[in-house]
Amino acid sequence: MIFIDLVGAIWLSYQSHITLIAALISNLAFIPGDLIKSALAVIIVRRIRKAMHLSLF
């Protein structure tokens, strides 16, 4: 997640001709959504694994 945000900021900086610091600051707005998506992915995967484990026995 952090790697993707960093690469995105570098690309934004390059394409928009702004400083890397400005691009990194602008990407801060996406961090809360990224954290929520990550947490939901963990919850979903755990439930799927649990359901699959129960259905195997």
- Render pLDDT for 30-55 as a digit per residue (tens, 0 to 9): 999 999 999 999 999 999 998 887 76
In the prediction, which pLDDT does 13 show?
Answer: 97
In the prediction, which pLDDT does 33 show?
Answer: 93
In the prediction, which pLDDT does 54 show?
Answer: 72
Burial 28-47 (b: 16+ CB within 10 A, else e): eeeeeeeeeeeeeeeeeeee
Q: At what angle do helices 2-16 and 20-27 cross, to 10 degrees?
A: 130
* Average pLDDT for 1-10: 88
In this structure, the chain runs to a length of 57
